[in-house]
Amino acid sequence: MMPLNDATPHHPCGCPQVAVYGTLRRGGINDIRRFQADVRWLGHCRLPGQLYDLGAYPGLVLDGAHAVLAEVYALTPALERDLDRLEEVWPVDIGEYAKRIIDVQMTPLGGGPPQTLPVLVYEALPAGVRGRARIAADDWLGWWTQRQG
């Protein structure tokens, strides 16, 4: 069994952007700026998948069924390490999420034409969403805020 500490080597994925769709979005309980205050917010995108209710956070399965709102940020190896720890894919992978790199159309902040670029996405694994309710909304943060009343 691997030790539960930072002695386990971290291997960055090499993708320069990350797309966040749940608690890591601005205003979420895990707002990405808590990990890196000066993280560059690049724009918005739609991820091709379905949201699932995992309690206080969502899971996204990249099945192409819907278009889920996400925010795109510049990704550094240090930020990726912090996100991997939060999503529990490092230092020990608990098997709830997998890291995927997909191409998306991003709408840049401040305007301009959409850009196609690769993003890192933390995708919920099938076992983690089995028996969980699907979320009919495309904006998890808006859905969650409404649900909390």
The answer to whether residue 5 is domain-embedded is no
Note whether 124 and 60 are within 8 A (CB): yes
Domain extent at residue 136:
17-148
Q: Which residues contact 9 (CB under 8 A, 6 or more apart)?
A: none
The answer to whether residue 40 is domain-embedded is yes
Tens-place pLDDT, residues 40-74: 999 999 999 999 999 999 999 999 879 999 999 99
The answer to whether residue 114 is domain-embedded is yes
At 131, list the tokens.
């028996």
The answer to whether residue 26 is domain-embedded is yes
Q: Per-residue confidence at 148, pLDDT binned at 50, 70, 90?
A: confident
Fill in the amino acid letter for 48.
P
What predicted TM-score, i.e. pTM, was given to this entire model? 0.92
Q: Per-residue confidence at 13, pLDDT binned at 50, 70, 90?
A: very high
The answer to whether residue 113 is domain-embedded is yes
The answer to whether residue 91 is domain-embedded is yes
Question: For the chain, how many structural domains are there in total?
Answer: 1
Cα distance between residue 71 and residue 21, in whole Å: 7
The answer to whether residue 11 is domain-embedded is no
CATH number reported for the structural domain that contains residue 127 in this entry = 3.10.490.10
The answer to whether residue 124 is domain-embedded is yes
Tens-place pLDDT, residues 81-102: 999 999 999 999 999 999 999 9
Q: What is the pLDDT of residue 65?
A: 75
Cα distance between residue 142 and residue 49, in whole Å: 17
DSSP state of 149: -
